[in-house]
Amino acid sequence: MVRPAPQPVPGVVRAPHVPAEKSAGKPRLETVWEWLSAIPDPEIPVITLTDLGIIRDVQWQGDTLEVTVTPTYSGCPATSIINLDIETALRGHGIEKLTLKRQLSPAWTTDWLTDAGRAKLEEYGIAPPQPAGGPQHCPHCKSTQVEKISQFGSTPCKAQWRCQSCREPFDYFKCI
């Protein structure tokens, strides 16, 4: 599959290469979460990894930072890019010892998408997931007259829908 180059990671671009809070020893976990919340999803760069809810834990194990990540879909090609982006960002902030842990259970669910993430998706033109199993309304014209084209879309996490009012097709971030 041909994929576009990953979006620049804002945290890395902006942050000067100062050893992160070196005077205090290890950076605080809140700080690490802030860095992680600046990393965009490689497939849908309008939301971040923390918006997606895939970062399950951040802990110091001695002098090693352990970040626990859960995959969205088993075969999602973005998973390895996400791990690479996390590593790149944290190393850019001066983290030298880092391990990424994969956690499968509890399995990722779209319930973990943050409210901010949902709002950003909608603004971007992707209808956020709904408990009812379909979009609330067209993300473009807000009409509720929408129909499903296919449960499968351009990435594993999206379905294809169409608005019957404005006739625009749109992506729906499907529930799992």
Q: Which stretches of the chain bind another protein, using CB under 8 A?
A: 71, 73-77, 104-109, 149-154, 156, 160, 174, 176
Minimum distance between the CB of residue 22 and another protein, rounded to whole angstroms? 36
Q: What is the closest distance, in whole angstroms, from the C-beta atom of residue 41 to another protein in the complex?
A: 17
- What whole-number distance in Å separates Cα of residue 172 and Cα of residue 112? 16
Question: Minimum distance from CB of 106 to another protein (Å)?
Answer: 7
Minimum distance from residue 159 beta carbon to another protein (Å): 9
From start to end of the chain, where are the E strands? 55-61, 64-69, 98-102, 126-127, 146-150, 158-163, 169-173
- First CA to last CA across the chain, in angstroms? 24
Give the residue with the Cβ less far from another protein, 35 or 108.
108
Comparing CB distances to another protein, the nearer of 15 and 175 is: 175
What burial class does residue 89 get, using C-beta atoms within 10 Å of its C-beta: 0-12 exposed, 13-18 middle, 19+ buried?
Answer: buried
Which lies closer to another protein via its Cβ, residue 140 or residue 162? 162
Query: CB-wise, 108 or 173, nearer to another protein?
Result: 108
CB 20 within 8 A of CB 31: yes
